[in-house]
Structure 1
Amino acid sequence: MDKEVEQKEVGTVTSIYQEFEHWDVNKGDKTIHAKRMPGFFRTVKNYTQLALWLPFFLLPYLRWNGKQAILFDIQNRQFHFFNLTVLPQDIWMLSLLLLVLAMTLFAVTSVASRVWCGYFCFQTAWTDWFTWIEDKIEGNPTARRKLEEAPWDFDKIKKKVSKHFIWMVIALFTGISFSVWFVDAYDYWRDLVHLQLPTVGWVVITMFFLGTYILAGLLREQTCFWLCPYARIQGVMSDAQTILPTYDFNRGEPRGKLRRGGEVVAQQGDCIDCFQCVQVCPTGVDIREGQQLGCITCGLCIDACDSIMDKIGKPHGLIRYASLDELEGKPAKKMYQHPRTLVYIGIILIALAGIVYGLTHLGAMTLKVIPERQPLFVTLSDGSIQNKYEFKVLNKTDKDVFVTVAAEGGIKGQVVIGADKPLLTHHGRGTSFTIFVKAPGENIKKEVTPLEFRVQSVDDPTIAAEYSTKFNGPKR
Structure 2
Amino acid sequence: MQQGVDMQEQEQVNIDELYADARHWHVNTGGETIHAMRVPGRFRNFKWFASCLWLLYLIAPYIRWEGHQAILFNIPERQFHLFSITLWPQDIWMLSLVLILLAMTLFGVTAVAGRVWCGYFCFQTIWTDWFTWLEEKIEGTPVQRRKLDAAPWSLRKIRLKLFKHTLWLLISILTGVTFAAYFTDAFELWHSYLTFNAPQVAWVVVAVFVFGTYVFAGFMREQVCFWLCPYARIQSVMVDKDTVLPTYDEGRGEPRGKVRGKGSEGRGDCIDCRLCVGVCPTGVDIREGMQEGCITCGMCIDACDSIMDKVNRPRGLIRYASEKEMAGEVLPPLFRRPRVIAYSTIFLLAVGGIVYGLTHIPPVELSVVHARQPLYIQMSNGMIENKYTIKALNKTSADRHFQLRVEGAPGVHIVGDAGAGIVLESGKMVPFHVFLAAEPAALKGEKMPLRLVLESIEPPAIRMEYDSVFIGPARH
Tell me the equivalent position of 1:238.
Answer: 239
- Distance (Å, rounded) in 2 between the aligned partners of 1:146 and 1:75: 52
CA RMSD of aligned residues (A): 2.4
Q: Which amino acid aligns with 2:30?
A: G
**1:54-133 matches, cutoff 5 A:** 54-133=55-134
Q: Does 1:44 align with 2:43?
A: no
**3-state SS, counterpart of residue 176 of structure 2:** helix
Question: Which residue type is aligned with residue 389 of structure 1?
Answer: Y
Q: Structure 2: how far apart are the matches of 1:18 and 1:393?
A: 68
1:224-373 map, 5 Å: 224-259=225-260, 265-373=264-372
Matched to 1:66, the amino acid is G
Cα distance, 1:275–1:364 mapped onto 2, change above 3 Å: same
Tell me, which stretches of 5 or more residues in structure 2 are unaligned? 1-8
Q: What is the TM-score with the length of structure 1 in the denominator?
A: 0.91
Is contact 1:414–1:440 with CA below 8 Å preserved after alignment? no
The 8 Å contact of residues 222 and 282 in structure 2, kept in 1 or not, is answered as yes
Is the 1:418–1:435 contact (alpha carbons within 8 Å) kept by the matching residues of 2?
no
SS at match of 2:92: helix
- Percentage of identical aligned residues: 52
The one-letter code sitting in structure 2 at the alignment partner of 1:319 is: I
**Structure 1 residue ranges without an equivalent (≥5):** 1-7
Trace 1:133-152 onto structure 2 (pairs within 5 A). 133-152=134-153
The alpha-carbon deviation at position 105 of structure 1 amounts to 0.5
Counterpart CA distance in 2 for 1:285 and 1:323 is 19
- Counterpart of 1:34 in structure 2 is 36
Looking at structure 2, the residues matched to 232 and 376 of structure 1 have their Cα atoms a distance apart, in angstroms, of 56
Q: Decide whether aligned partners of structure 1 residues 338 and 264 sit closer, same or farther in structure 2, where only a CA change above 3 A counts.
A: farther
Identify the residue that residue 435 of structure 1 maps to in structure 2: 434
- The match for 2:216 is 215
TM-score (norm 2): 0.91
| 3-state DSSP of counterpart to 1:434 | strand
Q: Which of 263-272 and 88-97 deviates more?
A: 263-272
Secondary structure at the residue paired with 1:237? coil
Instruction: Encode CA deviations 1:109-135: one digit per residue, 9 max, x unaligned.
Output: 111110000110000000000000011
Which range moved further: 225-234 or 98-107?
Answer: 225-234
Secondary structure in structure 2 of the residue aligned to 1:455: strand
Shift of 1:429: 4.0
Q: By how many angstroms is 1:19 displaced?
A: 7.2
Using the alignment, how far apart are the partners of 1:159 and 1:442 within structure 2?
93
> Using the alignment, how far apart are the partners of 2:17 and 2:304 within structure 1?
33
Partner SS for 2:264: coil
1:346-425 alignment to 2 at 5 Å?
Answer: 346-412=345-411, 414-419=413-418, 421-425=420-424
Q: Report the Cα offset of residue 220 of structure 1.
A: 0.9
Which amino acid in the other structure matches residue 186 of structure 2? A
Counterpart secondary structure, 1:307: helix
Output aligned runs, 1:180-199, within 5 Å.
180-199=181-200
Distance 1:475 1:319, change over 3 A: same
The Cα shift of 1:94 comes to: 0.6
Distance change >3 Å, CA 386–CA 147, structure 1 → 2: same
Letter in structure 2 aligned against 1:402: H
Task: Name the SS for the 1:26 alignment partner.
Answer: coil
Contact 2:406 2:412 in 1 (8 A): no
Q: Contact 1:406–1:416 (CA<8 Å) still a contact in 2?
A: no
Contact 2:259 2:267 in 1 (8 A): no
Separation of aligned partners in 1, 2:407 and 2:352? 32
Deviation of the 1:143 alpha carbon: 1.3
- How many equivalent residue pairs? 464
Task: Return the alpha-carbon distance in structure 1 between the equivalents of residues 448 and 71 of structure 2.
Answer: 45
Contact 2:386 2:436 in 1 (8 A): yes
151-160 or 459-468, which moves further after superposition? Answer: 459-468
Counterpart contact for 1:107–1:344, Cα < 8 Å: yes
Distance 2:423 2:17 in 1: 80
Counterpart CA distance in 2 for 1:387 and 1:85 is 35
Please say if residues 417 and 437 of structure 1, whose CA atoms lie closer than 8 Å, have aligned partners that are also in contact.
no
Offset at 1:310? 1.0
Contact 2:367 2:392 in 1 (8 A): yes
Aligned to 2:5: none
Partner of 1:4: none
Cα shift at 1:320? 0.3
Distance 2:392 2:203 in 1: 37
Query: Given residue 435 of structure 2, which amino acid in structure 1 is its aligned partner?
Result: F
CA distance in 1, matches of 2:115, 2:407: 58
- Contact 1:175–1:206 (Cα < 8 Å) also in 2: yes
- 1:417 is paired with a residue of what secondary structure? coil
